[in-house]
A = this chain, B = another copy of it.
Amino acid sequence: MIDPDKVAAHLDRLAKPKGSLGRLEDLAVRLGSIQGTLKPETKPRRLIVFAGDHGVVADGVGIWPQAVTGVMVAMIAAGRASCSALARACDASVRLIDVGSAMGEVPSSPLYCDRRVGRGTLSLAQGPAMTADQFWAAWMAGQTAVAEARADGMRIVVLGEIGIGNTTAAAALIALGCEHDSDALVGAGAGATAETLDRKRTIVREAVARARDVMADDPVAAMAAVAGFEIVAMAGAIAAAGDADLPVVLDGVVSGAAAIVAQAVDPAALETAIASHVSAEPAHRIALESLGLEPYLDWGLRLGEGTGALLMLPMLDAAAALLKDVATLDEVTGGGGG
């Protein structure tokens, strides 16, 4: 990392009106300061998708059955999911880390890694979703995925997730972490009827109330009680990227919840995090505000899989090009300038 002001000062030396590229300049400052250089590199980069299942799905919080997680895992492993298409378009490789799906037969694909710490969480409606041991195992799986990305020379990582039911866990985590009324944070996720939405609200409200009782004494236990394996793994990945001065691009509400978990475990975890978009889920905006992250896109995205985060990659390419390829005023005026 270097002082963001150093990068901003370089932008101010370019032959263009100061500040005239608005948020693209913010992005350039963020990228340059994280990588510690005025010549940041944005390739190669990798999308890491974490997968996990949620016991709470059996309690009727959405319209999709748990088996859909496995279908989506198979689609990503086969390179045919939405994130696969966008990753190709944005020149990112894909790695799918299964930290807790309930699938039977897993895909045989070089993209897929079976690192399950459980076969789905227990239902957060009935009690703690996972043990502390499982929490740390999932966290480590996230850290390992980032270590592998670094070893493979990645300059940026992009995080995504797949897990039917995980907007329920995300809403609970954000309500818990931001000390916000949970009812207002529960949205439709990938699909809900009025009935399932109502049930989702009740379940989240009660689970958050139970978790709040232990939050002060044992925040990890409190968060583990309402989290998901893929969310905790994503939190570990965010913290690992922060440790390694590696830019990490966040996606929607589930990665917002993961950022809340990461910051609770490690207050410096978000040093290299970049918020790509604010999603259609109401909890996401609350989480980003609480984290002090300002999103770049407001496109009503709510798919997950890292799809929104991938869209930031070409913007980061543009930000890097701005720093590296534009003439300075000195060059244009033949020296002696500002």
Contacts and interface: CB of A to CB of B under 8 A. Distances in A.
A267 interface: no
A138 B280 CA distance: 44
Given A88-B325, A318-B310, A301 B190 contact: no
Contact of A301 (B24, B299, B325): B24
B89 A21 contact: no
A317 interface: yes
A320 B90 CA distance: 12
A319 to B, nearest CB: 9
A95 interface: no
Interface string A302-338: 1100010011011101101110111100011000000
B17 A302 contact: yes
A79 to B, nearest CB: 8
B299 A85 contact: no
Contacts of A153: none
A23 interface: yes
Contact of A322 (B16, B85, B317, B325): B85
Q: Please indicate which of the listed interface residues A23, A85, A301, A311 has the most CB atoms of chain B within 10 Å of its own CB.
A: A85
Interface string A7-28: 0000000111100111110000
Contacts of A299: 21-24, 296
Contacts of A301: 20-24
Contacts of A332: 71, 75
A300 interface: yes
B310 A90 contact: no
Contacts of A318: 85-86, 89-90, 310-311
A271 to B, nearest CB: 23
A209 to B, nearest CB: 30
Given A80-B326, A327-B75, A321 B88 contact: yes
Nearest to A14: B82
Contacts of A244: none
A85 B326 contact: yes
A1 interface: no
Interface string A83-119: 0111011100000000000000000000000000000
A81 interface: yes
A191 interface: yes
B24 A80 contact: no
7 contacts: A17-B190, A21-B82, A22-B300, A23-B301, A75-B327, A81-B326, A85-B321
Given A82-B326, A296-B297, A297-B297, 9 more contacts: A14-B82, A15-B71, A15-B75, A15-B81, A20-B190, A24-B311, A75-B327, A80-B325, A80-B327
Interface of A: 14-17, 20-24, 71, 75, 78, 80-82, 84-86, 88-90, 190-191, 280, 296-303, 307, 310-311, 313-315, 317-318, 320-322, 324-327, 331-332
